Structure 1
């Protein structure tokens, strides 16, 4: 009798990912070729539109129901003073988003984006990764499944962001587990760490790698051991979007680290994703390079909340309209 584990369904999904719609991409590139403009003069705008069509299956592409999904989680490792903010700041940020007073609310209004914010058991931080796994397998799989529900109400562009005190440390730990190296290779100042705090972040990561090292070769095990709930939920959302033909914009270090889990399991798992924004965290640039992701924006945004993805969504919407609305050249 074959035994099953909570991760089995996700392993099956990762092994059977839908491919891009090459015909739709070709039609969009043909629209640009026929437009009244010099060849390839719109640069990456043409590539963005082609990507949008390839992964939505629509040519010309359209963005009618864009959604920003923010996943908020807390971490047991914060007790090691790896962030200048108290744990309560995560819940406060969620409440601010709900009240319409956060930066992301304004970005969503400006670009006509939907917004969902998910509180992932903020009152129960994950395990301290220096002493135990962040999550057990069942809990991690359940959180991934919960993340998949982000697109249950329908969307045609998914922008993924995060909230979580200390989660830049967790992102660095996850990158170290997936790509190699030690804590010092991946940590950055996060929300304002000084030199002493940076040293504590490095120590937390190195202790976690030493504790869990034997199990980190499996990407999903790395996710549950040194990741967190927002990371697991983002993984689930990326997978659900792939299955439902929804292109994805990734925002910041946390979303990129989560996406790296899927890439480690299947290098084609992120083909429907673009990196919206590059944060100032040095580990983010390094992770993006390893994943082959080139950011659409580089505004030095480290605020979280999916702001970079929300801003990039406006660019994607413009690319879609450009591909469908430009007049064809008159041939003489």
Structure 2
């Protein structure tokens, strides 16, 4: 019997024999099983959970064709994170999560905020992909490796549970193009209002992204993830993709946030498959096996993508904020799943009879 199969049976037996009817804790039971498999133990533990927010600017945002807010809002929001005033700050404080804010490529110099914002800048925003590739192949690879190194350092410091968030005006457009290229579904399936486009602006965004898709022949790049990133990605998306890859290899519990975070996971999964990296869990073949999807974003295409991937998110709160807020809100559920697995009595230890019980 394979190790994974034996462990899975042992975990399921432990879950089924807690003092409850079979399946009575619903999704928490599925999460407990998944986390036990990720950590390869029947006694999983969560240590120093983090939310890491990657921020980057997009050249397309300077045109105003796809965004309701000016590009400068990216830097302004990063400063808001640094000062503790954003929703993600509130939720991290509430749930005792450590927040790390990463400058992956914002068009601003955060030197005077070096203690609050980690400098991993690849460039001062990407180029406008209406005219040219967003970044070079070398820049995409550099961003991926930087994301890996950030996660490695967090694990050295003791973290084994992590959720990723993002900030970047215009990044729903990059996410839309990436999702469309990888899934083969039309651009319009994933194009939403972002931070608040009206009907006319939404149509302009759709037209612009369809033009970009055709210009870069993205339909030919579904299995060339680095090239796809270089054409239409963002530095924060590339860095997040690298972070996913490293987190999975190090057997961290990984929470996927919303629309943009899922696009980064898709890119990471294609890299994972293309490089044939061995999974740390036997019999798991994609990153989706290793990831817990925190919520369904209210952004237009996210629910369709989750269905396409065959995954079920934990929360559905009609949120579309980004920043890792969905992951931060889901984190207590992850802790609850681990706690019941470790602390809840079994029928035997509690002396509770199961005779003739419909469990």
TM-score, with structure 2 as normaliser: 0.83
Asked which structure has the greater CA Rg, the reply is: 2
- Show the counterpart of 1:190: 194
Provide the C-alpha distance between the structure 2 equivalents of 1:296 and 1:310, rounded to a whole number of angstroms: 12
Q: Do residues 63 (structure 1) and 67 (structure 2) align?
A: no
- Show the counterpart of 1:86: 70
Show CA shifts across 1:73-129 (max 9, x none).
110111231111111111111111111111111111111111111011211121111
Provide the C-alpha distance between the structure 2 equivalents of 1:314 and 1:22, rounded to a whole number of angstroms: 28
- Show the counterpart of 1:153: 154
Provide the C-alpha distance between the structure 2 equivalents of 1:201 and 1:323, rounded to a whole number of angstroms: 47
- Displacement of 1:24 in angstroms is 4.3
- Show the counterpart of 2:262: 256
Spell out the pairing of 1:171-320 with structure 2 (5 A cutoff): 171-213=175-217, 215-217=220-222, 218-265=224-271, 266=273, 268-320=286-338
- Show the counterpart of 2:87: 103
- Displacement of 1:25 in angstroms is 3.8
The alignment's C-alpha RMSD in Å is 1.8
Provide the C-alpha distance between the structure 1 equivalents of 2:132 and 2:305, rounded to a whole number of angstroms: 25
In structure 1, stretches of 5+ residues that fail to align are 1-18
Q: 1:311 to 1:143 in 2, by over 3 A?
A: same
How many equivalent pairs are there? 314
Equivalent position SS for 2:301:
helix
Q: Quick check: 79-88 or 63-72, which moved more?
A: 79-88
Q: Quick check: 66-75 or 282-291, which moved more?
A: 282-291
Provide the C-alpha distance between the structure 2 equivalents of 1:107 and 1:53, rounded to a whole number of angstroms: 26
- Displacement of 1:262 in angstroms is 2.9
Q: Do residues 72 (structure 1) and 72 (structure 2) align?
A: no
Q: Is the 8 A contact 2:19 2:352 kept in 1?
A: no
Provide the C-alpha distance between the structure 1 equivalents of 2:166 and 2:76, rounded to a whole number of angstroms: 14
- Show the counterpart of 2:277: none
Provide the C-alpha distance between the structure 1 equivalents of 2:213 and 2:85, rounded to a whole number of angstroms: 38
- Displacement of 1:20 in angstroms is 9.3
Q: 1:100 to 1:165 in 2, by over 3 A?
A: same
Equivalent position SS for 1:277:
coil
In structure 2, stretches of 5+ residues that fail to align are 108-123, 274-284, 354-359
Provide the C-alpha distance between the structure 2 equivalents of 1:21 and 1:144, rounded to a whole number of angstroms: 29
TM-score, with structure 1 as normaliser: 0.90
